[in-house]
Amino acid sequence: MLSTTEKRHLNQTTKLAYRIIGPSLLFVIIFVAIPLVYSLYISTQEFKYGVPTGRGIWFQNYIDIFTKSTVAPGFYSSLEITFKFTIVAVALVMIISFLIALLIEQKFKGSNLIKVALLLPYAIPGAVSAVIWNWIYDPNFGVLNGLLYTLGFIEKYFSISSNPDLAIWGILFAYVWKIVPYSTFLFSAGLSTIPTSVYEAAKLDRSGPFRTLSKIIIPMLMPVIQMVLVIQTIFALVLHFGLIFVITQGGPGDSTRTLAWHIYKETFTFTRFGRGAAMAVILSLIMVIFIYVYLVVLNPERALKRKQKRLEKEAIQSV
């Protein structure tokens, strides 16, 4: 049983906790929970020319997305492009940002300058960043064409945004440039928490750089790696939209028609609000699946426990 003083202290602590998380919880309810519930509702409603008929059609929009001959091919195509873009984007961002974080944590002369330079891409608003890259890719006066022409890599200027084979890579490069700084600072913060005594012990043990990285740094940084992986996957699924909107408009053809862009077109261009909401719900479910895989299936602690149980089982069987 708790004493009166302990109960009073517990009540005060609980009230303080609610006061601290209250604003954040209210923000999540207003800007995340309510729109999500409303999207679920809209996805079950029928719309004619952008106007709700008031008739509920339950899961018909979802069935149409996966099975209707005039809808399913476009959805599956955008889904394929989205998955390919996400896999490559996440891999590049994770690798590049981790290597930069390792570099700037060496505390050499000029490392602080690199940190300041890294802030610039992320500090630029997304729309402004997209416009800048649209200028860089311009086929007439773009910096990229000028640089490649000057160095002798090309004989004449070309258009990236109107080339079906290059457009998605142009979006990818601009996206990586924008997002890498964010992950770099997360990795850098994680690396700074590793005690210097760990590195000193590795040196005494004559551990090489690769062994130190694979056996010490990465395992100790695994919670941060998981967090960055989750964040970057969510980012890659949706944050490329601004670049596509400004640079390619989903083209040429459908080469950059990702699921985020497909949802936008269905909802605001063709005013199929129910179908667009259903696609948005599907995209949210894809995010949830990715998060589950990262945090549960690929959890190193979970894998270690499974390994321990397997070893214990083998030990019992051998006896």
CB neighbours of residue 138 within 10 Å: 17
Q: Which tokens is 47 given?
A: 């719309």
Whole-number average pLDDT of the chain: 87
Q: Is 62 part of any domain?
A: no
Confidence of residue 96 (pLDDT cuts 50, 70, 90): very high
Q: How many residues does the chain have?
A: 319
Confidence bin at 5 (pLDDT 50/70/90): confident
- Measured over the CA atoms of residue 25, residue 31, residue 35 and residue 36, the dihedral's sign is negative
Residue 261 lies in a domain: yes
pLDDT for the residue 130: 94
Q: Please, what is the angle between helix 222-238 and helix 72-104, to 10°?
A: 140
Q: Do 294 and 279 meet the contact criterion of CB atoms below 8 Å apart?
A: no
| Of 97, 92, 90, 122, the residue nearest 229 (C-alpha) | 90
Q: What pLDDT, on the 0 to 100 scale, is given for residue 118? A: 85
Q: Are 184 and 100 in contact (CB under 8 A)?
A: yes
Q: Output the domain CATH number for residue 91.
A: 1.10.3720.10
Q: Which residue has the higher pLDDT, 113 or 10?
A: 113
- Name the pLDDT band for 73 (thresholds 50, 70, 90): very high
Backbone φ, ψ for residue 47 (5° rounding): -125, 140
User: Exposed e or buried b for every residue in 197-230, given b needs 16+ CB within 10 A?
Assistant: eeeeebeeeebeeeebeeebbeeebeebbbebbb
Q: Can you read off the two tokens belonging to residue 26?
A: 């209210």
Q: State residue 223's pLDDT score.
A: 86
Domain total of the chain:
1
Pair of tokens at residue 27 = 């923000």
Region of poorest pLDDT, from 193-207, 228-242, 275-289 = 193-207
Per-residue pLDDT band for 282 (boundaries 50, 70, 90) equals very high
Place of tokens 């996805």: 43
Longest dimension (CA), the chain: 84
Tell whether 165 is covered by a domain. yes
Find the domain containing 232 and state its range: 78-318
Cis peptide before 252 (omega within 30 of 0): yes
Q: Looking at the domain assignment, is residue 43 inside a domain?
A: no
- For 173-197, write each residue's pLDDT tens digit: 999 999 999 999 999 999 988 888 8
Tens digits of residue pLDDT in 138-154 = 988 889 999 999 999 98
Residue-level pLDDT at 24: 86
* Secondary structure (H, E, C), the chain: CCCHHHHHHHHHHHHHHHHHHHHHHHHHHHHHHHHHHHHHHHCCEEEECCEEEEEECCCHHHHHHHHCCCCHHHHHHHHHHHHHHHHHHHHHHHHHHHHHHHHHCCCCCCHHHHHHHHHHHHHCCHHHHHHHHHHHCCCCCCHHHHHHHHCCCCCCCCCCCCCCCCHHHHHHHHHHHHHHHHHHHHHHHHHHCCCHHHHHHHHHCCCCHHHHHHHHHHHHCHHHHHHHHHHHHHHHHHCCHHHHHHHCCCCCCCCCCCHHHHHHHHHHHCCCHHHHHHHHHHHHHHHHHHHHHHHHHCCHHHHHHHHHHHHHHHHHHHC
Residue 209 in any domain: the answer is yes
Rounded Cα distance, 160 and 163, in Å: 5
What pTM was estimated for this model as a whole?
Answer: 0.87
Given a cut of 90, whether residue 233 has pLDDT beyond it is yes
Please report whether residue 227 resides in a domain.
Answer: yes
| Structure confidence by residue, pLDDT tens digits, 28-45 | 899 888 988 999 999 999
- CB count in 10 Å sphere of residue 23: 9
- What is the CA 19 to chain-centroid distance, rounded? 30
For range 247-252, the mean pLDDT = 91
